[in-house]
Amino acid sequence: MFRLLSKESNIFSVPVYIGVLLLIVISFNFLDFNTLELISAAVTFGGVALGYFCFNAIALNYQTHLPLFLYTVFVFALYPGDLDIGIAVALFTNSIIILLLTNDDVSVRNYSYILVGAILAFNFIFLPTTWPMTIFVIFHIIGTSDRIGLHMFRLLFGITLVILSYLGIAYFFNLNSFNPAYFPFKGLKLMTKFDNLYWLTPILLLLIHAVMDHFRNFNRKSPTSRFKYTFLLVFSLAQLITIILYMGKTYEYLLLLALPASIILSRMLRFSKKYWMQEVGLWVIIACLIIFKLSTYFNFY
């Protein structure tokens, strides 16, 4: 199966995977006619579908089927059907931010920081626990920009525009009370019960191995590959902070890591020295995700 998925994808591959994604979303929401749930499903579909285009934007996987397939399996295993609208918006906005920040045109990246700031603020309104994404973008500006002050100003300007608009709308509708959810730093508790997450332990070990292997061979990588992999790791760290601090038993938060995990794991499998390691690794990932899906669906714990 690994050899089959290692074949180069073509122009029709992404639409096919998006079609499979659409079937997944429809199947999980077929009997749910709640308007909010349908909106959440539509936003989720849009965000995850954009993720397929992020693979080409990040360009770390040699345009094979493997990362696309793994991404689809991750979404199937982690998508519960009744996804919170905040997480759905986060998936959508994260994909847009990745597409903007990985654009090959430097001028597009530089002038997109106002839009990125606006997206971050919009994301925060729907899901305040995604504040680490702002830190990620700030680090990205510091690490890549030759005009840090200007781009920081653009980022903050975009954030300010959305915040002022939101406050104006709230004032218009006489919404004068402060929602404590917009201060997500109070009463933080680290996860202590992992329950169904134990089934994902092999995938976690593979991810750790993949990152360690990357740094062992760091000097052999091209500058572009090193930069993009670092970008991916910092992005993953931002999502991981959100997951560790706020997930609890809301396992759909793990969808925020579906894209970077698919890229990292597919690279790890591709560069494994033995074919049997590639095949076994692939089936271990698939099996763990399916068991995790069953454990959450049938509530093993």
pLDDT of residue 150: 92
The pLDDT value recorded for residue 285 is 94
Please give the average pLDDT of every successive group of 10 residues along the chain, which has 301 residues.
Answer: 74 81 78 66 88 84 84 91 86 92 84 93 92 93 88 94 90 78 73 80 93 86 84 93 87 92 91 87 93 83 60
Map tokens 């094979």 to a residue: 64
Indicate the Cα dihedral angle 112, 156, 52, 207, nearest 10°.
130
Given the structure tokens 């099996």, which residue do they identify?
287
> Which pLDDT does position 30 carry in this prediction?
64
C-alpha 263/C-alpha 66 separation (Å) is 9
- The phi and psi torsions of 8 (rounded to 5 degrees) equal -70, 135
State how far the Cα of 104 lies from the Cα of 265, in Å rounded to an integer: 24
How far apart, in Å, are the Cα atoms of 229 and each of 114, 218, 220, 235, 259? Answer: 25, 10, 13, 10, 13
Domains of the chain, residue spans:
2-105+194-297
Report pLDDT for 36: 60
pLDDT value for 300: 64
Q: What per-residue confidence (pLDDT) applies to 163? A: 92
Burial of 241 per CB tally in 10 Å (0-12, 13-18, 19+): middle
**pTM of the entire predicted model:** 0.90
Residue 187: what pLDDT?
65
Q: Are 96 and 89 in contact (CB under 8 A)?
A: no
* Terminal-residue alpha carbon distance, the chain: 32
Residue 7: per-residue pLDDT: 75
DSSP state of 299: T
Tokens 């590639």 belong to which residue? Answer: 278
